[in-house]
Structure 1
Amino acid sequence: MRRHALGLGALAMLLAACGGNTGDPAAAPAATTSAAASATESAAASPTPTGLPTPNSSPSPTGENIAGCVTADKGEIFKYTRDGTVTKGVIMGKGKVGAVVSYERRGTVCDWLPLAERLVAEGRRVLLFDRNDVVSPEKDTVEMARRLHDAGVEKVFLIGGSMGGRQSVLAAGLLKFPVAGVISVSGGTTQPGDVTALKAPFLQVTADEDSTAPLELARAVYQEAKKSADRQLLVLNGREHASALFTAEQGDKALQAITAFVTKHSG
């Protein structure tokens, strides 16, 4: 009973504070703070019932998953080993056209689900994977492209964000089969010399105020990719970097540009 009395008392003080300070802004903060403190003390005195879910909490996956967001219902999860380290990947969707996605330095596979799910909805296959290492990461992209190709994908695109964009560019030159296209999103680490020999269609997507991926560098890379079968540079308004572009104001434009590029070069 005492706990209920404390809670009702705090509520009464809070109502009094809200109703009694109209027209007196200077007095409002102190009264509100006092009422809030009483309410906090009352809440602390009342134990939280056990066995009830936390409000607004998302249940954690109980089965096999990647980064807590990709479960077996999204596709075929596999294990990948390089230099003694085991990581996981997933192949989503069906079709003869597919893409390997390499995320940015501080990213995860979760950040690229908006793009992956859109591509899958358009009949493409998508391979997402946990990067094995930051040392020679393009080797991971090469192995993932081979895996997707061996799984029956005839047109393989390499898509990456930031350092993942550079991974994709470098991997294209290491594969024994030609890739259908390379897409770099905010490729701030890609240098002009990386694309000198690139023959595959090449799309760059970047934001004009992204300090991590200077627009001047993207333009220099575009100028150097002279051997590319189809070089494109899409500059969007904003400062978002890599996968953050997909959930920003220009997100739909970025996603549409990528899927349209894949469609154009899938024939």
Structure 2
Amino acid sequence: MPLRSFLGAVVVVGFVLAGTAPAVAQPKTELHPCVPADLREDAITFKAEDGVELPGLVFGSGSSGVLLAHAQLETVCEWLPLARQLADDGHQVLLYEMRSMALKENRHSYDLDVLGAARELDSRGASSIIAGGAGTGATAIATVAEKIPGLRGMFLLSPFRAFQTQSADLNAVDNIGAVRVPSLVIAAQDDAVESVGLPDHARDVAGAASNAKLEIVPGSAMFGELTKDAALRDRIRAFVRENKASPTFLDRWLMPIAGGVVLLLLVVVGVVVLRRRSRRNTTTVADVSAGS
């Protein structure tokens, strides 16, 4: 069975069985083995809204934050190229591993993961956030968009109208209209998970939003696969750039002011050193004259 068909079948089975399948105990979620060793050394951990501990990767710094939430059957690795590019664009990017499906409690509460990640970005100095995700990650973002601090926009790849199990009720259509921030909703025209036509889901999500642009692109890529296309990554980067918060006074002038203060201190130190040397030389000349 081709990998794509296999993944599609797993998604469909997940919708049916997720709420009833027995869970295997797992103390915490781990970063996927695909993450390079050099990135693992700098990995962070943070807590979701219900206390579940999640690992994440932070790229860049600054007050303009970007939150990335992958789909249920993806890993963070599909999003690494986009995360690095967004960081190069001057944003602080948090890419995290959503909670394991093996957790006993709140197995599919991906909305709580999103809120925990947003709080982590906020604690790291991000005063504004663009939230982006795919599949269940996108659906979770749209569900809790109203609660994300400093939200400036959303980009949602192949979102579901809703993702419902016994332990979670994520509904993008019912909740995305609660915020008026710009949204970019993208799906591939031939994308379908078995009998689930994701372009139709995307159309409904965009239609329920108060300020959304829908893009149905050629091909059959699903979820984070869409970010493999360089042109689409550039489109997302442009969306983030256009909708990030304007720099605050502190952001705009902190470095010039700090540089000016350092320069002034160097001048003051230089003047003090020169005066001390001048006094020392004067004292030496005076002593020599007195000895003569």
Q: Shorter-normalised TM-score: what interval?
A: 0.5 to 0.7
What's the C-alpha RMSD, in Å, of the aligned pairs? 2.2
Q: Provide the secondary structure at the position in 2 that maps to 1:131.
A: coil
CA distance in 1, matches of 2:36, 2:120: 19
| Equivalent residues of 1:210, 1:240 under 8 A apart | yes
Indicate whether 1:78 and 2:44 are aligned.
yes
Q: Would the aligned equivalents of 1:185 and 1:242 in 2 still touch at CA under 8 Å?
A: yes
Q: Give 5+ residue unaligned stretches, structure 2.
A: 1-29, 101-106, 163-171, 247-292
Aligned residues: 196
Residue of structure 2 equivalent to 1:99: 66
Shift of 1:71: 4.2
- 1:66 and 2:17 are equivalent in the alignment: no
* Pick aligned residue for 1:139 from 112, 115, 124: 112
Instruction: Give CA deviations for 1:9-30 in whole Å, capped at 9, x if unaligned.
Output: xxxxxxxxxxxxxxxxxxxxxx
Match of 1:112 among 73, 76, 79: 79
Given candidates 139, 142, 154, the residue that maps to 1:182 is 154
How far, CA to CA, are the matches of 1:131 and 1:222 in structure 2? Answer: 24
Residue 259 of structure 1 corresponds to 237
> How far off its partner does 1:110 sit?
0.8
Residues 83-130 of structure 1: CA deviation (Å, up to 9, x unaligned)? 675431121112221211111011111111121111112111111111
Q: Which has the higher helix share?
A: 2
Q: SS state of the match for residue 196, structure 1?
A: helix
The alignment-based identity, stated in percent, is 23
Q: Are 1:203 and 2:184 counterparts?
A: yes
Structure 1 runs not aligned, ≥5 long: 1-64
Whole-angstrom CA distance in 2 between matches of 1:162 and 1:146: 22
Offset of residue 178 of structure 1: 3.4
TM-score normalised per structure 2 = 0.62
Aligned AA for 2:205? V
Do structure 1's residue 214 and structure 2's residue 198 form an aligned pair?
A: yes
RCO higher in structure (CA 8 A, sep ≥6): 2
